[in-house]
Amino acid sequence: MNREMLAAADATEGAVNVMDAEEQRLVSERQSREGASFSVIAGVLLTGFFLAFVFFLIHHQMIMDQVRERSRAEIAQRNLSARLLNLQDEEARRFARELHDSVGHHLAAIKMGVAIPSSDSWANLVITDCLTMADDAIRESRTISHLLHPPLLDQAGLNSAIRWFVEGFAKRSGIHMNVQVPDSAVRFDNSVELVLFRVLQSGLTNVHRHSGANRADVTLSADSNRVTLSVRDSGKGMASDILRSVTQDGIG
């Protein structure tokens, strides 16, 4: 009996040892598979992160290229607009010079010729009317010449040109004008002064034609990097339905 019990104990111990060895093998295999799975997952994550980073760089580069291209297009458009404005101003300056030097001189010569006194009272009356019309024509040609290209804009700058134009506009239109411009003699870039002066001309023309206003305010202000021109009037404004149609049509 003792021998049988010892044999059974030996058999049981052998089976336990076999089970322990099998369990160790299974644990080793599981650990090996888990290590391999972790390596695969880590590789997939790293690859995905790398691809995402590459796609981000490509997308960022594409966006930056588009931004640079748009910036170049905007700069080219601004340069083209400035060039066209300068060409228009040069043409207006040439026309103003011709108007002043040619038509103005001819009118002055006509005025001097007509001003010769006559013994006929009726002829003197006609001559007086002709002299009045000649004065009006000379004054109008001079005004048109200055409006085409005001000499003050080149000689004294935007501030003086604005004061001169607003003063003349008030006399021609009968609209009471209030102008506020800096007293300093600071000059802006030639293209900036030209654009602002043309905007003022267009704005006050609209005030005279459409607003029905009896007064208007012109204000010019500037700081280190910005120039602001404001034109306000006491007119009738624009009806809401007309404003909507203008906004929809894109004209006005």
Domains and CATH numbers, the chain: 158-252 (3.30.565.10)
Residue 251 has pLDDT above 60, yes or no: no
pTM above 0.75, yes or no: no
Give the tens place of pLDDT for each residue, 168-177.
888 888 889 8
Given this model, what pLDDT does residue 205 score?
84
Q: What is the mean pLDDT of the chain?
A: 78
- What's the rounded mean pLDDT across residues 79-104? 70
Given this model, what pLDDT does residue 248 score?
64
- What's the rounded mean pLDDT across residues 106-110? 68
Residue 247 has pLDDT above 70, yes or no: no
- What's the rounded mean pLDDT across residues 145-164? 75
Residue 218: pLDDT band by 50, 70, 90 thresholds? very high
Residue 238 has pLDDT above 60, yes or no: yes
- What's the rounded mean pLDDT across residues 148-172? 80
Q: What is the 3-state secondary structure (H, E, C) of the chain?
A: CHHHHHHHHHHHHHHHHHHHHHHHHHHHHHHHHHHHHHHHHHHHHHHHHHHHHHHHHHHHHHHHHHHHHHHHHHHHHHHHHHHHHHHHHHHHHHHHHHHHHHHHHHHHHHHHHHCCCCCCHHHHHHHHHHHHHHHHHHHHHHHHHHHHCCHHHHHCCHHHHHHHHHHHHHHHHCCEEEEECCCCCCCCCHHHHHHHHHHHHHHHHHHHHHHCCCEEEEEEEECCCCEEEEEEECCCCCCHHHHHHHHHHCCC
- What's the rounded mean pLDDT across residues 13-20? 76
Instruction: Report which of residues 242 and 144 the model is more confident about.
Output: 242
Residue 50 has pLDDT above 70, yes or no: yes
Residue 232 has pLDDT above 60, yes or no: yes
Given this model, what pLDDT does residue 217 score?
92
Residue 230: pLDDT band by 50, 70, 90 thresholds? very high
Given this model, what pLDDT does residue 133 score?
73
- What's the rounded mean pLDDT across residues 149-170? 80
